[in-house]
Amino acid sequence: MIAILKYNAGNIKSVQNALIRLGYESIITDNPEELKAADKVIFPGVGEAGSAMKYLKQRGLDKTIIALTQPVLGICLGLQLMCRHSEEADTECLGIFETDVKRFPPVDKIPHMGWNNFFTLKGDLFKGISMSDDVYYVHSYYPEISTGTSATCDYILPFSAAMQKNNFYATQFHPEKSAYIGEKILHNFLKI
Amino acid sequence: MLKRRIIPCLDIKDGRTVKGINFLNLKDAGDPVELAKIYVAQGADELVFLDITATIENRRAFAGLVERIAAEINIPFTVGGGINTVEDVSILIKAGADKVTINSSAVRRPELISEIAGQFGSQCVVVAIDTKLVDDEWIVFVNGGRTSTDFHAINWAGKAEELGAGEILLTSMNNDGTKSGFSMEITGEVSSLVNIPVIASGGAGTMEHFRDVFFNTACSAALAASIFHYGEMDIRDLKKYLTREGISVRL
C-alpha cells in the first residue's frame, strides 16, 4: 500500500489522482502506524513552510517521517520540509537533507512557475528521463545544491530539482502535474 | 530554461464546453474533459476552465466537473467564473483545481486576493484583468467587459501583485475576438512592471501573433480559445513554429 501523508497542505488529492492513473491504490493518512506500515510514503505539498511544520510537530509526525525506512518521496513543500531550514517564516525543518531553502532573489519573475528542464540528472528516479525533458514547477523558495542533490535546474540561479539520501527521495517540481514525463518519474519511484 | 507557456481556455456553460466542435477524433465535442484531453495530447502547458454561467446552482455542478478534470488531466489547470469568497475557492481547490482566477470580485473587494493567498498560497491566485483603451488610457472593465471602472490596468496589476496575486491574466478587449494579434502595448507595460508571471490574452489569430507577443514582451504565457477550439491551430504545430523562431517552449 502507498500512503500519502495528510497534513495542512493543498494539492494532496492530485497526487492520489496521479497514482490512480498509473494503476496504484493509495491511502491519504496522518496515522503514524499506517505510515510506518506502508510500502511507500509520499509527502506532497503546496503551502507555507512555517504553518506546515507546526502542524507536523503538533501531531508528532515530524518524528514519524524521519524514522521511516521504506522509500519516501517528498514533493515541492514536502522536499523543502525535508531540508534543514527554510527562509519561509524562518522555519526549522526535518533535517533529512543537509541543505537549506532560500527565497529566490527578485531579479526575475517569482514564483518560478511553469515548465523547466534539467541541468544535471542522476539516480533511480530519472531512469529514461533526459536533461531536455520538462517538468512543472511552482515555487518561490528553492533548495540549495548539496551532496544529496540528484538533479539540478536553473532559474535565476542553479538549485536542487531533486534530492536523494538513503530511502528519502524528493523533487522540487510536481511529477503529478508534469504530464507523461512526471508519470514516468512517479513510476520510477513506485518501482524502487 | 523556463519555457513560455501555451494555455487553451475553455468556456463552460452548464457543465459543457460552449465552443469546440471541430475535432474529428472527439467522441463528445461538448464534454470539457474530452476536449481537455485533446489539448493535453497536443502539448498544452496548462488549461483554464471558465464557468460562464456561474450561479449558485451551477457551482455544485461545476465543482463536480472540476473533480473529473482533476482525475483525468495530468497538467495544471485553473478554474474561474463567479468566485466571490474564500469559501467558493475552497470548494474548487478541494475538488482538485490547482489555481483559481478572480476578476470582478477582486475589483469590488481587492482584499479578496490577500484572503485567498493567505489561505491557499499566492501560487493559486490568478487575477484576471479585462482592459480596454479609452481616450488613451487602459481602463479596467468588469462583469464580462460590460462595466467600466475607475481602475487603470497598470496600477491595478501592481496593486494585485502587492496584495498577493501569483499571476496576472491580462485580456485586451480591443484585441479580443479580432484575431489581429495580442496587444503589445498593454501586455508589454504590465509584464515589465510586475514581478509575477503575466498571461497575455485576446487577439490570437496566427502563429506569428504568439511569436510577436513572446518576442516583444516579458509575458510568461499566452492564452487563446477559439483558434484552438475550432481546430484552426494545432498546439503541436504552434510549438514547433515557435521553437524554429527561437522562442523556448516545451515540446
B151 domain-assigned: yes
Confirm if A177 and A136 have CB atoms less than 8 A apart: yes
Domain count within chain A: 1
pLDDT tens track for A82-116: 999 999 999 999 999 999 999 999 999 999 999 99
State the pLDDT at residue B26: 58
Q: Which of A29, A24, A33, A26 is nearest to A68 (CA)?
A: A33
Q: Which residue of A has its CA nearest to B193?
A: A109
Q: What is the pTM of this model?
A: 0.95
CA A82 to CA A147: how far, in whole Å? 14
B25 lies in a domain?
yes
Residue A59: CATH number of its domain:
3.40.50.880
pLDDT in tens, A122-153: 999 999 999 999 999 999 999 999 999 999 99
Q: How many contacts, defined by CB atoms under 8 Å, are there between A and B? A: 87
Verify whether the Cβ–Cβ distance B93 to A10 is below 8 Å: yes
- Residue in B71, B72, B197 closest to A113 by CB: B197
C-beta atoms of B124 and A183 within 8 A: no
Could you list the residue range(s) of the whole structural domain that residue A174 is in?
2-191
**Among B2, B91, B98, B124, the residue to mutate for chain A (most A Cβ within 10 A):** B2
Q: How many folded domains does chain B comprise?
A: 1
What ipTM was predicted for this assembly?
Answer: 0.94
**Nearest-angstrom CA–CA distance, B220 and B181:** 16
Which residue in the set B2, B120, B121 is minimally distant from A155, CB to CB?
Answer: B2
Provide the grid cell at B249.
517552449
Q: How confident is the prediction for chain B on average, in pLDDT?
A: 92
Buried b (16+ CB within 10 A) or exposed e, B99-136: bbbbbbbbbeebebbebbbebbbbbbbbbbbbbbbeee
Nearest to A179 among B75, B124, B167 (CB): B75
Question: What does the pLDDT read at residue B54?
Answer: 67
**Could you tell me the CATH number of the domain that includes residue B240?**
3.20.20.70
- Tell the burial category of A58 from Cβ atoms under 10 Å away from its Cβ (0-12, 13-18, 19+): exposed
Question: Cβ A112–B3 below 8 Å, yes or no?
Answer: no
**Domain residue limits at B183:** 5-244
Q: For residue B169, is it within any domain? A: yes
Residue B25 has pLDDT above 80, yes or no: no
Residue type, A94: L
Alpha-carbon span A174 to A45, nearest angstrom: 9
Give the closest residue to B200 by CA, choosing from B174, B222, B176, B228. B222
**B249 within domain boundaries:** no
Q: Do A116 and B220 touch (CB under 8 A)?
A: no
* Set of chain A residues whose Cβ sits within 8 Å of the Cβ of B70: 13-14, 17
B92, amino acid identity: L
Helix (H) or strand (E) holding A5: strand A2-5
Residue B251 counted as domain residue: no
Q: What is the pLDDT of residues A40-91, one digit of tens each?
A: 999 998 888 998 999 999 999 999 999 999 999 999 999 999 999 999 999 9
Amino acid at B11: D
